[in-house]
Amino acid sequence: MFTGRSMVAGAGKEHKMKGKKGLNQYRWNLVIKKIDNQSAYFINYLRFPPAGTYSLHIIVDDIIMKKEFVILK
């Protein structure tokens, strides 16, 4: 079992997926929230995390890998 945890805007987000033997990938498009608005001229449908330093934790069985990354403006 693969579990990825990241802290986004001060709130923990978690994604779980089953891994298979070999290379497993998880791609994140940096979207933290989707807004459903039916206004004709509404263009901000996707919310992204603000600039800052974040931490990604990947947990596989009893192995924990941590990596900090920076999102720039």
**Which of 15, 14, 12 has the alpha carbon at shortest distance from 54?**
12
Any alpha helices (H) in 1-73, and if so which ranges?
none
Which of the four pLDDT bands, split at 50, 70 and 90, describes residue 8? Answer: very low
Give domain limits for the chain: 2-71
Q: Determine phi and psi for 13, rounding to 5 degrees.
A: -115, 140
Look at residue 12 and tell me whether its pLDDT is greater than 70.
no
Please answer whether residues 73 and 52 qualify as being in contact, where contact means their C-beta atoms are separated by less than 8 angstroms: no
User: In this structure, which amino acid lies at residue 59?
Assistant: I
pLDDT, one tens digit per residue, over 14-53 is 777 788 888 888 888 888 888 887 777 777 788 888 898 8
